[in-house]
Amino acid sequence: MLSCHMTRSCHNDFGGNHRYLKAMLLTPTTLAYGRSRTCRERTRFGIIDITFVNMGEALDRGLEGFLPGVHRYPYKGKDDFPNVMNYELTLPDRREFFLVTNLSQHTFEADFFNTEDKPFSHSWKEYFYDSQLLVVEMLPRVPHERASRRLSQFIMSVADANAQLSPDNLIIPDGTAAVQLGTSAKCPDESFRPLYFAHQAFPTVIVETAFTESPQKLEQDARRWVTQSNGQVTVITVHLEESTERIVLQRWVLANGSPVRRQETTITNVRGARRNEGASVQITNAPFIIPYQELLARAPRSSNGRDISIDVMALGLLCEQVWASQ
């Protein structure tokens, strides 16, 4: 079926017929075997082309986790891209991401990868070389950023304590630095590696956080990281469920040639019936552990190396900070 979530009328392909567009939104299977289409909308940011991508085509690209709520726009150059971003920001149903199509590898590297110009250098999440498709991350939501940054701080606090005991334990935080992952270039939400791994292709631990993405998409990302790095990467996923104020932490590794989940910890903010009752935090399966061997890519050489252990107190603090003022 066809992915289409625009709520305004499109004039070229649909002849300005708003009723037809509404019918298509309600009964997308009527276009199940149709080809991808593009419509054009005049906005205060200029004329925007919106691509309606056939579901089957998108599934072939391995993007099923993004469907069906993410908009797609053909790339029309550096002058047009900020207009598309501004347009997305005005949409009431906007998601964390949108997709840019028809972006060649040469143009991607020139306009997005090898530049420090904003918003190009800091906006993209992943580029697929084979399908010439770019995943663009909108302004991250506050809970997403709080979760990623706070978890990174917990990891680095223990890692720095280990480094004080022995310089061999020194960890470098690589943040969102892009990594070549199979047929794509991908930016994690956080990443870490030992100092002696500075020139290796992969970090040893990465963090992927999802706020509006589905848990299925998050798991798909974890499996890709683990599989395509041949087990060199341990993946920490953080799924944020706003309706229940719950955080789900998982650790993924490669075992017997397949990605497996080694741990799952849930943290839930339980609010009282009355405003003045405050909130309590419920935690299952604590502490959350990142083994020393997975972070350092080797066993400890002495007693001067500890696992990254995020205890109940730290997990409770994470939950309180992520959901503050929500």
pLDDT digits (tens, 9 = 90+) for 262-313: 999 999 999 765 445 567 899 999 999 999 999 999 988 777 778 999 999 9
Q: Which domains does the chain have, with CATH numbers?
A: 18-137 (no CATH), 142-322 (3.90.1570)
0.75 surpassed by pTM: yes
pLDDT digits (tens, 9 = 90+) for 31-44: 233 345 555 555 55
- 15: pLDDT confidence band, cut at 50, 70 and 90? very low
Whether pLDDT at 1 is above 50? no
- Distance, CA of 297 to CA of 321 (rounded, Å): 31
Residues 6+ apart with CB under 8 A from 111: 78, 81, 120
- Distance, CA of 232 to CA of 194 (rounded, Å): 12
Q: State whether residue 116 is helix, strand or coil.
A: coil
Nearest to 38 by CA among 24, 52, 54: 52
DSSP 8-state assignment for residue 30:
G
> For residue 38, is it left (φ>0), alpha (ψ between -120 and 50) or beta?
beta
* Type and span of the H or E element at 85: helix 81-90
- Distance, CA of 303 to CA of 86 (rounded, Å): 53
Backbone angles phi, psi at 167, to 5 degrees: -60, -25
Whether pLDDT at 119 is above 90? no
Cis peptide before 259 (omega within 30 of 0): no
Angle, helix 142-165 to helix 312-322, in steps of 10 degrees? 150
Q: Are 97 and 63 in contact (CB under 8 A)?
A: no
Sequence letter at residue 149: R
Q: List strands edge to edge, sheet with 171-173.
A: 171-173, 190-194, 205-210, 234-241, 246-255, 258-271, 279-284
